[in-house]
Structure 1
């Protein structure tokens, strides 16, 4: 690359014109010959035009391939997506069935919470009856511990102080 640019002037002066003679007679019309001789396009311009033409064809083919690939991808994607039809064999995985399952689980959670509240109210009522028999000091400590444990279900360490008071009551 660097060697050719420094010798451009020298190579053009030493370039020779070569003439090839065909084995068969070739006749060109005078208009074609005059058009070729009057053409202002050089080899460089012709080469550039050919490269532009090739680049245009390659980019066109690439864009066609891209469109084709996108169509194949979309069709594959659409075929693989789950349908919302109730008659579909994969109904248990469709979004509508998942929504129904979520709703049923929410209903079950609501029922569970209601049962927990009923148990708490029932326990509070039973506790009130048994507390009347005992003195007020013991009842208040037991009540505090019970309420704390029920309020902090699964986190008994949050009720450490109430547990210590209850231990003192039981031990002493």
Structure 2
């Protein structure tokens, strides 16, 4: 269905008023040629498909090679960074810095004053009094945040 035409194709001959001189060898060659428009279109389509396939292969190979090189570079950079970061003195220095930070944070934690405790209690009371409307306690929360930020 649909692969062949339902009506036979009629050949049309156009007669010209002017004389056209065509060599007999050209006429013989055209008469003996087995190529039709369909075959030529198939050749053209095949040629285009091959060209597109070649171009896709080239681009794919290029992208793969770039990806591989970027991947290797990133691995090399990560290895270099790990080697730089894993020296004994640097690790000890980082540990010492972290310990110093912990000590200073601990000192700040123990300096909680009465204002913060009072502010915390106000939030708790507000939330208990406004169980249905917890957003009514926003001022108390802001006040508490202000006191906590002063510790930093």
Q: TM-score, with normalisation over the residues of structure 1?
A: 0.37
Larger radius of gyration: 1
Q: TM-score, with normalisation over the residues of structure 2?
A: 0.41
